Amino acid sequence: MSNQPIIITTKLKIGISACCMGCPVRYNAKGWDLVKSLGREKSDFVWVPVCPESMAGLGVPRNPIHVVGADGRAIWTNEAKVVNRGGAEVTDAVKAGASACMEALERADITAYIYMDGSPTCGVYRTTLKKQKRGNPPGVFGALLLDKGYFLIPASDLQSPLKWWDWRRRLLAFHWIKTVEIEDMKTLYAVWHQLKFICQELDEPWARALGKKLAAVNREAFMDFVEVFRSEIMMVLRKPSTPAKITNRLWKHYAHYRKASGKSIPEINEPTFKRNVTTIAGELIKMERAAVDDGILFGNTPVIYRHRKPDYDS
Ligand code: SF4
């Protein structure tokens, strides 16, 4: 680790609600291919689609279902039930389908899951259509996803190039901090140096406090501190950023890149320059590529995925 981006060459596995990958498994036999929005980036990941309601054996098409009771969590403590539009109770079937899907995700060893919000089953922060008021989040499967601690991404954000860029760079950093070995103080400092810029962007006061705790840590408390350090960073990396924060940081890191490389990238604009999110995402991707090519750390994206090519092998 140094002033360079970390390059990951293994494709991360991402679980996904199958209806968001084009599988026509919704109650009305429809599906949307939201992954198509990623273009060529789709092949940077291994996808693991699952559909808990299909695995429940409810069939396609089927009567839509909803939770009667507090929320999807209460299903797992037998304090709520799942019924379909015809009034039939399908609680046991939905639990069996959700458990089977979770077993598949665990076998696949996924890092992240892309969920369909608004579903009483896969929804995490919303379990009904916006205008309806039926049931509370999380959904039956959404409750299991939250308990497993996966990096959770709403499927609708795949359609926005900037939101996806933000999710993707945080996901790669999340995977790295989750798996990197930290055995001594030197590595601990190096890991912080790698991630501190993105952490500062996401939550400046918290990052400042963590930096101070890091400076004060002693050898006796080292192992306990590493676990707190790791879990706090993983928690913060789940938070989306904003276009304003992203463009400000882009400009700051671009200044560093120009100084370190002596090169410029004419397409990169100042934060005050008005442009749409697609243009901003394009600038970020150009900056990432240039940073990797020149071996300079671009703090917005400290961890990058690249196909295994001789130029990028570590
Ligand atoms: S939201 Fe989940 S349960 Fe519903 S169709 Fe999609 S994958 Fe299946």
Q: Could you write out the three-class secondary structure of 271-309?
A: CCCCCCHHHHHHHHHHHHHHHHHHCCCCCCCCEEECCCC
What is the rounded distance in angstroms from the CA atom of residue 266 to the CA atom of residue 219?
47
Q: What is the atom index within ligand 1 of the atom nearest the CA of 122? A: 2
Long-range contacts of 175-178 (CB under 8 A, 24+ apart): 175/8, 175/12, 175/111, 175/151, 175/303, 176/6, 176/8, 176/302, 176/303, 177/230, 177/233, 177/234, 177/237, 178/111, 178/230, 178/234
| pLDDT in the model for residue 130 | 60
The per-residue pLDDT for 132 is 62
Looking at ligand 1, which residue's alpha carbon is closest to its atom 4?
A: 26
Q: Does residue 19 line the site of ligand 1, with CB under 6 A?
A: yes
Q: What is the mean pLDDT of residues 41-51?
A: 97
The pLDDT of residue 133: 61
Separation of alpha carbons 309 and 63, rounded Å: 49
pLDDT tens, residue by residue, 178-200: 999 999 999 999 999 999 999 99
Dist. CA 93 → ligand 1 center (Å)? 14
Region 245-249: mean pLDDT is 95
The answer, yes or no, to whether residue 229 has pLDDT greater than 60, is yes
User: Does residue 31 have its Cβ closer than 6 Å to ligand 1?
Assistant: no
Regarding the beta carbon of 34 and ligand 1, being less than 6 Å apart is answered no
Residues 230-245 have a mean pLDDT of 96
Tokens at 74, concatenated: 């209460």
Query: 154-183: per-residue pLDDT in tens?
Result: 999 999 999 999 999 999 999 999 999 999
- Bridge partners of residue 83, in order along the sequence: 66, 89
Question: What's residue 314's pLDDT?
Answer: 40
Query: CA-CA distance, 106 to 103, in Å (whole number)?
Result: 5
What is the DSSP code string of 26-80? STTS---B-GGGGGGGGGGEEEEEE-HHHHTT--SS---EEEESS-HHHHHTTSS
141: pLDDT strictly greater than 70: yes
- Does residue 276 have a pLDDT over 90? yes
Q: Is the CB of 114 under 6 A from ligand 1?
A: no
Contact between residue 146 and residue 48 where contact means Cβ atoms under 8 Å apart? no
| pLDDT (mean) for 259-272 | 93
Q: What is the pLDDT of residues 50-100, one digit of tens each?
A: 999 999 999 999 999 999 999 999 999 999 999 999 999 999 999 999 999
51 or 313: which carries more pLDDT confidence?
51
280 lines ligand 1 (CB under 6 A): no
In this prediction, residue 307 has a pLDDT band, given cuts at 50, 70 and 90, of confident
Could you give the dihedral angle defined by the CA atoms of residues 139, 144, 145 and 148, in that order, rounded to the nearest 10 degrees?
160
* Closest C-alpha residue for ligand 1 atom 8: 51
- Mean pLDDT, the chain, as a whole number? 93
Give the tokens for residue 303.
């961890």
18 lines ligand 1 (CB under 6 A): yes
pLDDT at 311 over 60: no
Q: What is the pLDDT of residue 157?
A: 96
Q: Say what the pLDDT of residue 313 is.
A: 43
User: Is there an atom of ligand 1 within 6 Å of 17 CB?
Assistant: yes
Q: For 230-246, what is the mean pLDDT?
A: 96
Interval between CA 54 and ligand 1 midpoint (Å):
8
- For the chain, give every domain's residue range: 6-158, 161-314
* Share above pLDDT 90 across residues of the chain, in percent, rounded to a whole number: 87
3-state DSSP assignment of residue 170:
helix
Q: Which protein residue has the closest C-alpha to ligand 1 atom 6?
A: 19
94-135 per-position pLDDT tens digit: 999 999 999 999 999 999 999 999 999 999 998 876 656 667
User: Of 171, 193, 254, nearest to 5 (Cα)?
Assistant: 193
**Rounded to whole angstroms, how far apart are CA atoms 211 and 255?**
24
